[in-house]
Structure 1
Amino acid sequence: MTDPRQVSVERGEHGLLVLSPAYRLTLNDDRPFARLETPGGQAFTDLFLAPSLHTTTGLDRTARLHRPTISEEPEAVTLTFRLDGGIWTDKRLVLRCDESGIDSYVEVAGDGALADVHLFGGHYNGQQRWGSGFFQSGAHFTRVFNPEPYQREHRTIPAAQSTAIDVMGTSLPGKAHWFFTPAPLVYAFQQDTAEPHMALGADQGGAPEYHGDQGEQRRVSPADRWLSASIVAPVEELNFTSFHYDGQETAFAFRLSYEGQTRVQGPFRTPTLRMAFAADPYDAIAQNSARHDQLGYARLDQGEAPEWWNTPIQCGWGAQCHLAGERGGRAPDQCTQENYDGFLATLEAHDLHPGILVLDDKWSAAYGTSGVDRVKWPDLEGWIARAHQRGQRVLLWWKAWDPEGLPLEACVLNDLGEPVTADPTSPVYETVLRSAVRRMLLEYGADGFKVDFSARTPSGPGLTRHGTAWGIHLLHRLLWILRDEAKRCKSDALVMTHTPNPVFANVTDMIRLNDVNIGQDVNDQMTHRARVTRAALPHHPVDTDNWPMPSLDAWRAYTQLQPQLGIPSLYFVSHVDSDRQALTPDDYALVRGIWAQWRAGRGQ
């Protein structure tokens, strides 16, 4: 049990001081803020204590912030603030301060459909001295780390810049961050007057390197600390699509986007937002995952993986893209049995024998129902059976969310009654999906799925569905149905996703690092993704991916790095599709050597 002296509260004439070995929290009765500092008094933030939970019919606000009631336990001190005014019949902010961090959440009662929920920020008119309007928390930090990869691949951004972690994304402006959906719901903040740009090299141990504007480098000293802010909650509470950091000069707030899709009738409690100090951002992610595990919100260790899961992977997508570049048309048109026979023949000619084969987009006739396209694949069952005879396993590419071929009652609909996505809360869709999984694994003989397009999670007001799950929770529901039925069919079925988040530990078997961002350094970005993945889901194997590549030289460099990050993965057969450069005999020898070394290291 924690020593009761580890967390204490001191009452003064004008406020409170909460002390722990990891931080100190100071409240002044004259200000609606709580200052969070290191034990040595280094201020990181002034937390604004009057949150706003808006609904589709009203904007929330606070007219009075009461002094907190204090509850002291052996392991924690809890401060509860009553908030008067606004649209709720009751509203309270709770700060539970334990030895290593602070758990915060808001409790409300009333009726309404949640829109934006502002945490440590909100509308306030309770003290004439400070004026009125929307207030934010004070930022004494200068840099913000977001684990979700964005198009420019910045590891940190200036504190005055806004960012988000979400379950959406596409190639359109402002949405080019589909690589992880979702990434861990963790931000980390650092004080650094030089405001360096953080870039990670291939070194997997120690602290990250920093590269300033002139390219100078320095190592983070053990005395440097990061403040993390992360969501710690069971997946059933994650009915929002985005976790926003809203920044401006010297100030910030957090925001959860519920989009009018969560109805409150009676009491409601926001997911817990935990603030704690960490050695670096990846330590912050690991702390977040460990806490989920400790509280029973996630089981990080899913047991020993079948050996075949860790064999080299060959995915045909890059080769399909090369053929489309040569022949014209779209890459999905090149997913044919004839072409894949050719891919395997080329690999066999160069003595390359992958353990896992991935049939990519589009082997099926309709995305929503996943029935084989017999024109493209006249004998899919025989093709998979022959792979099994060679000791290879086969994964089928599965496009999440696509409603192609589904009845309306199986779909999320827009205002015009048109399908937007599949609806995992629909009993009709669940029946369709489970039937499709059984067909793919038992009739066709496949061994699992490469899940893609999870970033097409439906988002926005006005969309209708059958159940109540939304946002992150809705995506989890989709993957749960897929994996649950897969395991019923084959206990060793492999479900591969790009969801390195602790609450997704039970709906994925392997994390794929996802598409390469060819506009930025390949090895740096993939190293970052691997570090995020290992911190979030330390027991899940990692598919290193391999497509696209800006050049043959970049492909060679990344191919050599792959075994340090996870399972070697090959997407090309004869050419790198972006510049149509042909693989050389030395390139095939490179892959052979890496695969042999990988297998030897695993005793295969």
Structure 2
Amino acid sequence: MNTISDPESGQVVVEHRPHGLQIQTRTYALTLDYARPFALLTDQDGQPYADLFLAPSLNTTAGLDRTARLNPPTLEQEPGALTLRFRLEGGVWEHKELVLRCDPLGIDGHVEVKGEGHLTDVVLFGGQYSGHLRWGSGFFSSGAHFAEVFNPEPYGRERRLLPATESSAIDVMGTSLPGKGHWFFTPAPLVYAFRLGGNGAGPNLGADQGGAPEVGAAGEHTPQPTPAAGWLSASVVAPVEALNFTSFHYDAAEGAFAFRLAYEGQTRVTGQFRTPTLRLAFAADPYEAVAQNSARHAEQGYTQPETGTRPDWWSSPIQCGWGSQCYLSRVQGGRAPDHCTQANYDGFLEVLAAQHLLPGTLVLDDKWSAAYGTSEVDTQKWPDLPGWIARAHQRGQRVLLWWKAWDPEGLPSEACVLNDLGEPVAADPTSPVYEQILRQAVRRMLLEYGADGFKVDFSARTPSGPGLKRHGEAWGIQLLHRLLWILRDEAKRCKPDALVMTHTPHPVFANVSDMIRLNDVNTGADVNEQMIHRARVARAALPHHLIDTDNWPMPSLDAWRSYTRLQPQLGIPSLYFVTHIDGDGEALTAQDYDLIRTTWAQWTGIRNELRSGR
């Protein structure tokens, strides 16, 4: 036995065996049998969770990668950790190694290759293999001993816990079309969590005996008792520069799985390349797994710590006109964006003022601008936008402008991602032409019009697919981060207290967002349950960011009332309706306005308590 330290002391033990080895820590064990291309991962009690396949494939546009020989690992010892390097022979690369670094709390895995090619899919713990003839040849997967899989990304059906045999994805795309109904967080934390058993109840949403969610009243994380770790997590931990893929897939089959990063032929390797780290660790529940992922990013220096004080106005109640625009579309016809007019918004504020409601932040939603790509005001709909914003300031209110990410409307082709026909698909944040246009637009919106920040929407329209052409190298998650970085960087140059609201609860997006919006409600599922889940994910991933609780759409007035009562416990109350619910046209009553006043007052009290440090 070669001992680095006693596992009970929180370190690592390695035991060499005749045909393999075992690594033991106080939280897990990893066992290798050189007669099989797998490593068995068990928890602290010896319960199997996964047979990890050890011959990954990094496919390229030139062909599928494969492995013809998996060599026994070389071991590299360091204080408190042990690294295993498996040299893989065969395939499309000149050199390929799987690297597993085992520390007391988890395993960091990545692949290093040397060669040239345009990456399509990186398959981890799965791949094409012909190295053990006893087991045949072809594509091999890891073995799943777990029964259920947790995906933090909200999907249209709001199913957070899936059978282990069902594939899933976390990505930066989505729309209302089939198979794409997951635009709510882009990106969600790149974290999966796996559980052995399954009673069908799903992970605990954290309601205590009084019915309050586990997320603290102001969006702060509320400490909870930590039960024994019963979930295995698999999460990507990497700097934003390494997130050049669009999606992180869990590819499942009966009793089997693999992970896949989709690069879509858009990342060129010339020389050395290292995949992002995939960390395996155990957690008490899926939300703790998300928090561990966030903490790991911070430990590695991949996130930037918060600096400076947060302006008080950021946390004031929000009124967004979108729900009322949708109601006007229902009763007057036309599309909801047609009803984003100065006259209508004046009417919204008159109703609220008559009810003694003065929201601190106003959001002008879709479509106040003449063209999405250039963000110039539509003077037919808003004849005096600067004056309107100035009057809001005189009342003590701040104004956010809805900003549609990616839309190329009004942009020249040299500012856009183009398809094979040379047609614009999306704005290109790697284009110097577009960066100049965007920075000019930000200065116009904040300095000329007088706005105080932005509500960013449609970040799920991140361009995706082979053959698309752009100016620079960034792609996928990194490309979205680049877009938001330009927007926020210029906003802070114009107004240091400018507020940028996004729905990107991922640790590396901490420096491009000031507030996380929980995004649209799925009306086919329980409203409170889904929004509690989203708030818990956002809080675990970005524990210091404010949360906009959103408020639209609503299946009924009763559902709206129930969620309105809950909002102050999740984050900043947000109001999308002023006279009616748009879904069924139900009218707000005097008691409903009382409810809004009560919840806003409750939130103000919570906010004041936080300021005083109580």
Q: TM-score, normalised by structure 1?
A: 0.96
Amino acid at match of 1:177: H
Partner of 1:511: 516
Q: Is residue 2:589 matched to residue 1:584?
A: yes
Per-residue displacement from partner, 1:410-467 (whole Å, max 9, x unpaired)? Answer: 0000000000000000000000000000000000000000000000000000100000
Q: Is residue 2:365 matched to residue 1:360?
A: yes
Is 1:302–1:505's contact at 8 Å kept on the other side of the alignment?
A: no
Is 1:154–1:198's contact at 8 Å kept on the other side of the alignment?
A: no
Partner of 1:177: 182
> Cα offset for 1:3?
8.2
Q: State how far apart, in whole Å, the 2-side matches of 1:365 and 1:89 are.
A: 53
Q: Is residue 2:401 matched to residue 1:382?
A: no
1:97 is aligned, of 94, 99, 102, to: 102
Q: Is residue 2:404 matched to residue 1:392?
A: no
After TM superposition, the structure 1 = structure 2 runs for residues 403-418 of structure 1, keeping only pairs within 5 Å, are 403-418=408-423
> Cα offset for 1:194?
3.6
Per-residue displacement from partner, 1:292-316 (whole Å, max 9, x unpaired)? Answer: 0111000253543111000000000
The gaps in structure 2 that reach 5 residues or longer are 216-223
Cα distance 1:48–1:580, how it changes in 2: closer, same or farther (>3 A)? same
Farther-moved stretch of structure 1 (160-169 vs 195-204): 195-204
> Cα offset for 1:598?
1.4
1:495 is aligned, of 492, 500, 503, to: 500
Q: State how far apart, in whole Å, the 2-side matches of 1:184 and 1:314 are.
A: 28
Q: Is residue 2:119 matched to residue 1:114?
A: yes
> Cα offset for 1:205?
6.4
Partner of 1:44: 49
Is 1:513–1:526's contact at 8 Å kept on the other side of the alignment?
A: yes
Is 1:325–1:577's contact at 8 Å kept on the other side of the alignment?
A: yes
> Cα offset for 1:38?
1.0
> Cα offset for 1:195?
4.6
Question: Secondary structure at 1:239's aligned position in 2?
Answer: coil
Partner of 2:273: 268
Per-residue displacement from partner, 1:350-395 (whole Å, max 9, x unpaired)? Answer: 0000000000000000000000000000000000000000000000
Q: State how far apart, in whole Å, the 2-side matches of 1:587 and 1:193 are.
A: 40
Is 2:327–2:582's contact at 8 Å kept on the other side of the alignment?
A: yes
Q: Is residue 2:564 matched to residue 1:559?
A: yes
Partner of 1:255: 260
Q: State how far apart, in whole Å, the 1-side matches of 2:225 and 2:352 are.
A: 45
Partner of 2:575: 570
Partner of 2:90: 85
Partner of 2:352: 347
> Cα offset for 1:193?
4.6
Per-residue displacement from partner, 1:492-537 (whole Å, max 9, x unpaired)? Answer: 0000000000000000000000000001000000000000000000
Is 1:449–1:495's contact at 8 Å kept on the other side of the alignment?
A: yes
Q: Is residue 2:20 matched to residue 1:15?
A: yes
> Cα offset for 1:206?
6.6
Amino acid at match of 2:135: W
Q: TM-score, normalised by structure 2?
A: 0.95
1:421 is aligned, of 421, 426, 444, to: 426
Amino acid at match of 1:166: D
Question: Secondary structure at 1:35's aligned position in 2?
Answer: strand
Partner of 1:215: none
Q: State how far apart, in whole Å, the 2-side matches of 1:160 and 1:525 are.
A: 23
> Cα offset for 1:72?
1.0
Q: State how far apart, in whole Å, the 1-side matches of 2:213 and 2:520 are.
A: 25
Amino acid at match of 1:458: P
Is 2:226–2:284's contact at 8 Å kept on the other side of the alignment?
A: no
Q: Is residue 2:529 matched to residue 1:533?
A: no
Q: State how far apart, in whole Å, the 1-side matches of 2:127 and 2:102 are.
A: 22
Q: State how far apart, in whole Å, the 1-side matches of 2:214 and 2:282 are.
A: 17
Amino acid at match of 1:398: W
Cα RMSD of the aligned pairs, angstroms, is: 1.6
Amino acid at match of 2:525: Q
Cα distance 1:106–1:422, how it changes in 2: closer, same or farther (>3 A)? same
> How many residues get paired?
592
Q: State how far apart, in whole Å, the 2-side matches of 1:139 and 1:493 are.
A: 47
